[in-house]
Amino acid sequence: MERTFEGRIAVITGAASGIGHTVAGHLAERGARIVGVDLNPDVGEMLAELPGGRHHGIVADLTDAAAAGRVIEETVREVGTPYVLVNSAGVALLDPAVDVPAERWQLTLDVNLSGTFYMAQAAGKVMIEAGQGRIINLASQAAVIGLDQHAAYSASKAAVVGLTHTLSLEWARHGVTVNAVSPTVVETPLGKAAWAGERGEKAKAAIPVGRFAQPEEVAALIAFIAGDDAAMISGSNYLMDGGFTTV
């Protein structure tokens, strides 16, 4: 396997599970040194199992506006200047729009949008100084279409796409690209549980390719965007939904 990220540092939020953990493994296999950020206190031990070793775990609550700065400071101090940031941490709290409790609305925005911005802002400062960097924000197909019971989630992810456009505009001239990835349902353990049974089968049938996305497919796309061959790509939102949004 070509070690296309040899010597590069990748900060990944939500690295203890789901898409974030898969992305961490995918980049580690290709030579990256991973800094994984998660609420899970075992994130460091989980990263130790990835290829390459010398990875670094940081336990942080990214809804705290000051946490991102501390994460990047620790990254620079203990590991080095990050080349890649993948904002994968997120929540999906689903309610009919008329029933969304204020606290669930606010938590969704705090994690999915504000946490993404704080991390991008903190990483962007050191990347701009270094003159290079790749930021990839996890959005969702729910950012561009309406989905039942997704009012808070859709609002947060649509805002992530808008944020991606603005950061790209401001930072591309400094060698820092910013892009978003918007999958359909991804078959992580949580995704499989949430979309099991008849509900899941109906959802798959509505997707032209007839299935959900695999976490490894999302990781491969992120690795491409973070790689040297994608240096000209910035400000894009990559839909990975099997053609669903074209129906």
Domain locations along the chain:
9-186+214-240
Is 135 in a helix, a strand, or coil?
Answer: strand
Mean pLDDT across the stretch 189-211? 89
Helix (H) or strand (E) holding 85: strand 84-87
Please state the pTM of the whole predicted model: 0.96
Residue in 89, 82, 68 with CA at minimum distance from that of residue 19: 89
Q: What pLDDT sits at residue 136? A: 98
Mean pLDDT of the region 4-11 = 96
pLDDT of residue 156: 97
Confidence (pLDDT) at 2? 74
Residues 181, 187: Cα–Cα separation, whole Å: 16
Whether pLDDT at 247 is above 70: no
118 is catalytic: no
What CATH superfamily classification does 9-186+214-240 receive?
Answer: NAD(P)-binding Rossmann-like Domain (3.40.50.720)
Mean pLDDT of 215-232: 97
Is the pLDDT reported for residue 196 higher than 90? no
Which residue type is seen at 236?
Answer: S
The single residue of 83, 118, 153, 238 carrying the catalytic annotation is: 153
Residue 30 CA: distances (Å) to CA of 5, 33, 50, 116: 5, 9, 11, 25
Residues 86-130 have pLDDT tens digits of 999 999 998 999 999 999 999 999 999 999 999 999 999 999 999
**For 22-41, what is each residue's pLDDT tens digit?**
999 999 999 999 999 999 99
Q: Label residue 227 exposed, middle or buried (CB < 10 Å: 0-12, 13-18, 19+).
A: middle
The span from the CA of 160 to the CA of 183, in Å, is 13
pLDDT digits (tens, 9 = 90+) for 145-190: 998 889 999 999 999 999 999 999 999 999 999 999 999 999 998 8
Q: Where are the beta strands (DSSP E) in 172-224?
A: 176-183
